[in-house]
Amino acid sequence: ITRAERRAARGEAPPPEVQRQLQAPGASVARLERKIFVIGSERCPSVQGWRRGPPENYLKKCDQYHLVPEPKMMQLIQSLHKAKRPELDLKDQRIGDDHACAVMDSMACSDPIHVIVKNCRLKAKGVKAVCDALVAHCTRLEELDMSDNQCRRPKAAKAVAALLDCKGCDSLEKLSLSHCGLASAPALTITSEWAHRVEGRRAMRNLVELHLAKNDLGVAAETLGGLLGPYGAFPMLRLLDL
Protein backbone atom coordinates (compact mmCIF):
# COMPACT_ATOMS: atom_id res chain seq x y z
CA ILE A 1 0.00 0.00 0.00
CA THR A 2 1.35 3.43 -0.92
CA ARG A 3 1.46 6.53 1.28
CA ALA A 4 -1.18 8.10 -0.96
CA GLU A 5 -3.49 5.18 -0.27
CA ARG A 6 -2.90 5.49 3.48
CA ARG A 7 -3.72 9.20 3.33
CA ALA A 8 -6.86 8.46 1.33
CA ALA A 9 -7.92 5.81 3.87
CA ARG A 10 -7.50 8.34 6.70
CA GLY A 11 -9.35 11.00 4.74
CA GLU A 12 -6.31 13.29 4.58
CA ALA A 13 -5.59 15.69 1.72
CA PRO A 14 -2.41 15.33 -0.37
CA PRO A 15 0.54 17.71 0.26
CA PRO A 16 0.07 21.35 -0.93
CA GLU A 17 2.50 21.04 -3.84
CA VAL A 18 0.62 17.99 -5.08
CA GLN A 19 -2.70 19.83 -4.71
CA ARG A 20 -1.38 22.63 -6.92
CA GLN A 21 -0.39 20.09 -9.56
CA LEU A 22 -3.76 18.39 -9.29
CA GLN A 23 -5.51 21.69 -9.98
CA ALA A 24 -3.44 22.43 -13.09
CA PRO A 25 -5.83 22.24 -16.08
CA GLY A 26 -5.13 20.93 -19.54
CA ALA A 27 -3.08 17.83 -18.68
CA SER A 28 -3.94 15.16 -21.24
CA VAL A 29 -1.30 12.57 -20.33
CA ALA A 30 -1.23 10.65 -17.07
CA ARG A 31 1.88 11.35 -15.01
CA LEU A 32 3.16 10.22 -11.65
CA GLU A 33 3.68 12.98 -9.08
CA ARG A 34 4.78 11.74 -5.66
CA LYS A 35 2.77 8.54 -6.01
CA ILE A 36 -0.37 10.49 -7.02
CA PHE A 37 -1.58 9.96 -10.57
CA VAL A 38 -2.93 13.00 -12.37
CA ILE A 39 -5.17 12.73 -15.43
CA GLY A 40 -6.32 16.15 -16.57
CA SER A 41 -7.67 17.80 -13.45
CA GLU A 42 -8.81 14.57 -11.82
CA ARG A 43 -7.20 13.26 -8.67
CA CYS A 44 -6.45 9.55 -8.43
CA PRO A 45 -5.06 8.73 -4.96
CA SER A 46 -3.62 5.51 -6.39
CA VAL A 47 -3.36 3.91 -9.80
CA GLN A 48 -6.65 2.19 -9.17
CA GLY A 49 -9.06 3.68 -11.68
CA TRP A 50 -6.29 4.80 -14.04
CA ARG A 51 -7.31 3.77 -17.55
CA ARG A 52 -5.18 5.73 -20.01
CA GLY A 53 -1.99 4.83 -21.81
CA PRO A 54 -0.19 1.51 -22.30
CA PRO A 55 -0.18 -1.27 -21.40
CA GLU A 56 -3.94 -1.73 -21.44
CA ASN A 57 -3.74 -5.51 -21.07
CA TYR A 58 -2.08 -5.20 -17.66
CA LEU A 59 -4.73 -2.79 -16.43
CA LYS A 60 -7.56 -5.01 -17.63
CA LYS A 61 -6.03 -8.02 -15.91
CA CYS A 62 -5.71 -6.02 -12.69
CA ASP A 63 -9.42 -5.30 -12.94
CA GLN A 64 -10.10 -8.98 -13.46
CA TYR A 65 -8.12 -10.01 -10.37
CA HIS A 66 -9.21 -7.01 -8.27
CA LEU A 67 -5.66 -5.71 -7.95
CA VAL A 68 -4.23 -2.22 -7.70
CA PRO A 69 -1.75 -1.79 -10.61
CA GLU A 70 1.76 -0.86 -9.50
CA PRO A 71 3.64 2.08 -11.10
CA LYS A 72 6.93 0.15 -11.10
CA MET A 73 5.28 -2.61 -13.12
CA MET A 74 3.98 -0.07 -15.62
CA GLN A 75 7.44 1.43 -16.01
CA LEU A 76 9.06 -2.00 -16.36
CA ILE A 77 6.61 -3.06 -19.09
CA GLN A 78 7.24 0.13 -21.04
CA SER A 79 11.04 -0.16 -20.76
CA LEU A 80 10.93 -3.81 -21.86
CA HIS A 81 9.07 -2.93 -25.04
CA LYS A 82 11.66 -0.25 -25.91
CA ALA A 83 14.71 -2.49 -25.40
CA LYS A 84 16.42 -4.38 -28.22
CA ARG A 85 17.50 -7.20 -25.88
CA PRO A 86 14.89 -7.09 -23.08
CA GLU A 87 15.81 -8.49 -19.69
CA LEU A 88 12.95 -9.14 -17.28
CA ASP A 89 14.21 -9.13 -13.68
CA LEU A 90 11.60 -9.55 -10.93
CA LYS A 91 13.97 -11.11 -8.40
CA ASP A 92 12.70 -10.91 -4.80
CA GLN A 93 9.67 -8.83 -5.82
CA ARG A 94 7.28 -11.45 -4.33
CA ILE A 95 4.48 -10.46 -6.67
CA GLY A 96 2.37 -13.55 -5.90
CA ASP A 97 0.11 -15.59 -8.15
CA ASP A 98 -2.59 -13.04 -8.99
CA HIS A 99 -0.18 -10.28 -9.94
CA ALA A 100 1.85 -12.74 -11.99
CA CYS A 101 -1.32 -13.64 -13.89
CA ALA A 102 -1.99 -9.95 -14.47
CA VAL A 103 1.45 -8.79 -15.53
CA MET A 104 3.33 -11.65 -17.20
CA ASP A 105 1.55 -11.63 -20.55
CA SER A 106 2.26 -7.91 -21.02
CA MET A 107 5.90 -8.38 -20.07
CA ALA A 108 6.45 -11.49 -22.19
CA CYS A 109 5.13 -9.68 -25.28
CA SER A 110 8.52 -7.93 -25.47
CA ASP A 111 10.16 -11.34 -26.17
CA PRO A 112 12.77 -11.07 -23.37
CA ILE A 113 16.05 -12.93 -23.54
CA HIS A 114 16.56 -13.11 -19.77
CA VAL A 115 13.67 -13.88 -17.40
CA ILE A 116 14.36 -13.87 -13.66
CA VAL A 117 11.39 -14.51 -11.39
CA LYS A 118 13.40 -15.81 -8.43
CA ASN A 119 11.66 -15.65 -5.04
CA CYS A 120 8.44 -14.14 -6.37
CA ARG A 121 6.18 -16.11 -3.99
CA LEU A 122 4.71 -18.09 -6.88
CA LYS A 123 2.67 -21.24 -6.41
CA ALA A 124 1.13 -23.45 -9.09
CA LYS A 125 -1.15 -20.74 -10.51
CA GLY A 126 1.63 -18.15 -10.77
CA VAL A 127 4.18 -20.60 -12.16
CA LYS A 128 1.69 -21.63 -14.85
CA ALA A 129 1.00 -17.97 -15.70
CA VAL A 130 4.72 -17.30 -16.17
CA CYS A 131 5.28 -20.43 -18.26
CA ASP A 132 2.20 -19.92 -20.44
CA ALA A 133 3.20 -16.32 -21.19
CA LEU A 134 6.73 -17.33 -22.15
CA VAL A 135 5.49 -20.19 -24.34
CA ALA A 136 3.17 -17.79 -26.17
CA HIS A 137 5.65 -14.98 -26.79
CA CYS A 138 9.30 -15.95 -26.27
CA THR A 139 11.41 -17.01 -29.26
CA ARG A 140 14.99 -16.40 -28.05
CA LEU A 141 15.15 -17.13 -24.32
CA GLU A 142 18.72 -17.41 -23.05
CA GLU A 143 18.27 -17.42 -19.26
CA LEU A 144 15.39 -18.56 -17.06
CA ASP A 145 15.55 -18.39 -13.26
CA MET A 146 12.47 -19.61 -11.39
CA SER A 147 14.27 -20.55 -8.16
CA ASP A 148 12.65 -20.22 -4.74
CA ASN A 149 9.10 -20.66 -6.03
CA GLN A 150 6.78 -23.65 -5.53
CA CYS A 151 6.69 -26.06 -8.48
CA ARG A 152 5.77 -29.21 -6.57
CA ARG A 153 2.17 -29.34 -7.77
CA PRO A 154 1.49 -31.34 -10.97
CA LYS A 155 -0.03 -28.23 -12.59
CA ALA A 156 3.18 -26.26 -12.08
CA ALA A 157 5.49 -29.11 -13.10
CA LYS A 158 3.54 -29.71 -16.32
CA ALA A 159 3.68 -25.98 -17.13
CA VAL A 160 7.46 -25.91 -16.65
CA ALA A 161 7.82 -29.06 -18.78
CA ALA A 162 5.70 -27.50 -21.56
CA LEU A 163 7.83 -24.36 -21.45
CA LEU A 164 11.06 -26.34 -21.71
CA ASP A 165 9.63 -28.21 -24.70
CA CYS A 166 8.79 -25.07 -26.72
CA LYS A 167 11.04 -23.75 -29.48
CA GLY A 168 11.68 -20.54 -27.55
CA CYS A 169 13.79 -22.57 -25.10
CA ASP A 170 16.01 -24.10 -27.78
CA SER A 171 18.38 -21.16 -27.26
CA LEU A 172 18.40 -21.50 -23.45
CA GLU A 173 21.88 -21.20 -21.93
CA LYS A 174 21.14 -21.05 -18.21
CA LEU A 175 18.26 -22.69 -16.32
CA SER A 176 17.72 -22.34 -12.56
CA LEU A 177 15.05 -24.31 -10.69
CA SER A 178 16.71 -24.45 -7.28
CA HIS A 179 14.60 -24.77 -4.14
CA CYS A 180 11.35 -25.27 -6.07
CA GLY A 181 10.00 -28.27 -4.16
CA LEU A 182 10.77 -30.63 -7.03
CA ALA A 183 10.28 -34.01 -5.39
CA SER A 184 10.23 -37.29 -7.33
CA ALA A 185 6.88 -36.92 -9.14
CA PRO A 186 7.14 -33.28 -10.37
CA ALA A 187 10.83 -33.72 -11.14
CA LEU A 188 10.03 -36.81 -13.23
CA THR A 189 7.55 -34.73 -15.24
CA ILE A 190 10.35 -32.36 -16.20
CA THR A 191 13.08 -34.96 -16.76
CA SER A 192 10.67 -36.99 -18.90
CA GLU A 193 10.24 -33.95 -21.14
CA TRP A 194 14.01 -33.77 -21.55
CA ALA A 195 14.04 -37.47 -22.41
CA HIS A 196 11.44 -36.81 -25.14
CA ARG A 197 13.73 -34.10 -26.53
CA VAL A 198 16.54 -36.63 -26.80
CA GLU A 199 14.25 -39.12 -28.55
CA GLY A 200 13.13 -36.43 -30.97
CA ARG A 201 16.73 -35.26 -31.53
CA ARG A 202 15.88 -31.87 -30.09
CA ALA A 203 18.57 -31.63 -27.42
CA MET A 204 19.08 -28.32 -25.61
CA ARG A 205 22.39 -27.75 -27.35
CA ASN A 206 23.06 -24.30 -25.92
CA LEU A 207 22.46 -25.08 -22.23
CA VAL A 208 25.68 -24.67 -20.25
CA GLU A 209 24.32 -24.19 -16.68
CA LEU A 210 21.61 -26.20 -14.93
CA HIS A 211 20.79 -25.43 -11.29
CA LEU A 212 18.56 -27.89 -9.42
CA ALA A 213 19.94 -27.55 -5.88
CA LYS A 214 17.78 -27.92 -2.75
CA ASN A 215 15.28 -30.23 -4.46
CA ASP A 216 14.59 -33.79 -3.36
CA LEU A 217 14.71 -35.24 -6.87
CA GLY A 218 14.47 -38.85 -5.72
CA VAL A 219 14.23 -41.33 -8.61
CA ALA A 220 14.19 -38.41 -11.07
CA ALA A 221 17.91 -38.01 -10.37
CA GLU A 222 18.51 -41.37 -12.06
CA THR A 223 16.58 -40.23 -15.15
CA LEU A 224 18.59 -37.01 -15.16
CA GLY A 225 21.84 -38.94 -14.92
CA GLY A 226 20.92 -40.91 -18.04
CA LEU A 227 20.42 -37.66 -19.97
CA LEU A 228 23.92 -36.35 -19.36
CA GLY A 229 26.87 -36.75 -21.70
CA PRO A 230 27.72 -35.60 -25.23
CA TYR A 231 24.77 -37.46 -26.75
CA GLY A 232 22.25 -36.59 -24.07
CA ALA A 233 19.79 -33.75 -23.58
CA PHE A 234 22.49 -31.16 -22.78
CA PRO A 235 25.60 -31.86 -24.87
CA MET A 236 27.21 -28.50 -24.01
CA LEU A 237 26.48 -28.61 -20.25
CA ARG A 238 29.42 -27.33 -18.15
CA LEU A 239 27.82 -26.77 -14.72
CA LEU A 240 25.27 -29.00 -12.99
CA ASP A 241 24.27 -27.84 -9.49
CA LEU A 242 22.48 -30.48 -7.46
Strands of the sheet containing 36-39, edge to edge, are 31-33, 36-39, 42-44
The DSSP-derived string for 90-110 is -TT---HHHHHHHHHHHHHTT
The pLDDT tens digits of the residues spanning 79-102 come to: 887 788 889 998 988 888 988 898
Q: How confident is the model at residue 29 (pLDDT cuts 50, 70, 90)?
A: very low
- What's the mean pLDDT in 31-40? 38
| Of the candidates 135, 75, 63, the residue with the CA atom closest to the CA atom of residue 99 | 63
On the question of pLDDT at 23 being above 50, the answer is no
Alpha-carbon Rg for the chain, nearest whole angstrom, is: 21
pTM exceeding the 0.95 threshold for the entire prediction? no
- What's the mean pLDDT in 21-26? 39
Cα–Cα dist 218/235, whole Å: 23
**Residues paired with residue 211 on neighbouring β-strands, in sequence order:** 176, 241
